[in-house]
Structure 1
């Protein structure tokens, strides 16, 4: 009888241990074979995309740049950094009656025409004189680029730069993405660089690209803007 009890106890202990081992193995196997959470990490292109370059070429900027700088090459623009704006400065858009008459030809509309980029009204006062000519009077030294939503009557600042920077032009790649080209002071080399900002309006992310050529910035700063505003007598 005692042998039977001992045998039964040993058998129960063996079964319990086997069961626990099996459970542990299943848990380990489950942990090893479990699918990880899907994480997609995307980063900006190290150089400008063909689509972005094509937009500049279509606008004539490439031909203009190469005429002044024969070695100008979009492939030499390199990715610098990215950031996301938690909140952009916005205010009510209440334009003067003459706003669209004076600036309409220079506004950059999205493909669906729902919004546009205003590159000039912050620091150039454009008006028609008595002879029907457009006269542009320079304002302060600062530059501001604004996104305008006429339907919601909202103006949102995208870029603001002091005297050391310039904005030459802007282009939409689709209804939510745009690129701006200009120059800005580079802290590392104590000089200006030609700069491209790629902006995604859906998540307010900015990707910055620079041309490592200080001479190119001196050649182009403010010059394409004058070409873009051809027809305006700048004072």
Structure 2
């Protein structure tokens, strides 16, 4: 229960920073003037911060791993690190570009105001001539701004680590749900207004495979090699 409160408290810190544009968060916030700048003035932001477990994406992700390991719960995750957000130009095409492959449209993850979206898929896999998904070894997570038509890489993972899914809790805070060959699922929360990343790790062992990604893609008609 104490760890769950810590997780909720960290999310509340992130949200409070967004609501008070002139206020800086104490020593845990790492400023980076070269990082991504938040675009747009949002007067009020819808938020699911009061209860992380109420988010349907998070529920599905946790339920998937609980089916194989009933010991996994949100209380297993503890804050282990705070980082600054460094971005670079992304290597995928935004959906505002005529060259954008509409195959990926159902997988784009929009913020509540539809001014930005996350693309966790188009760098990682493509469809072959038979309509079967072919995966790359690496995965790039990109943030696309529809306001200024830019694509920014916010995370990059090699073959031993990957992002299963993602969701937004407000217009400027999003969450990456991850796993890897170390069998320890993780949660990464990003705040675009102060360029901070909070990393939560679990000490519970979970299945080491990418079947969650497969199940997520199959819901939108993507085929896999038997």
TM-score in same-fold range (> 0.5): yes
1:201 maps to which of 192, 196, 201: 192
Greater length-normalized contact order (CA 8 Å, ≥ 6 residues apart):
2
Q: Which residue of 2 is the match for residue 70 of structure 1?
A: 70
> Highest Rg: 1 or 2?
1
Q: Which residue of 1 is the match for residue 124 of structure 2?
A: 123
Q: How many corresponding residue pairs?
A: 180
SS at match of 2:115: coil
1:80 matched to 2:80? The reply is: yes
1:229 matched to 2:217? The reply is: yes
Structure 2 residue ranges without an equivalent (≥5): 1-22, 30-48
1:82-231 to structure 2, matched below 5 A, reads 82-85=82-85, 87-91=86-90, 94-95=93-94, 97=98, 99=100, 101-126=102-127, 134-139=131-136, 141-184=137-180, 191-213=182-204, 215-216=205-206, 219=207, 221-230=209-218, 231=221
SS at match of 1:99: coil
Q: What do residues 88-120 of structure 1 show as CA deviations (whole Å, max 9, x unaligned)?
A: 112586456463520011110101111100011
Structure with more helix by fraction:
1
- CA drift of 1:166 comes to 1.2
- Of the structure 1 ranges 88-97 and 111-120, higher mean CA displacement relative to structure 2 is found in 88-97
Q: Which residue of 2 is the match for residue 60 of structure 1?
A: 60
The alignment's C-alpha RMSD in Å is 2.8
Superposition TM-score, scaled by structure 1 size: 0.67
Distance 1:43 1:80 in 2: 12
Structure 1 residue ranges without an equivalent (≥5): 1-37, 186-190
Superposition TM-score, scaled by structure 2 size: 0.69
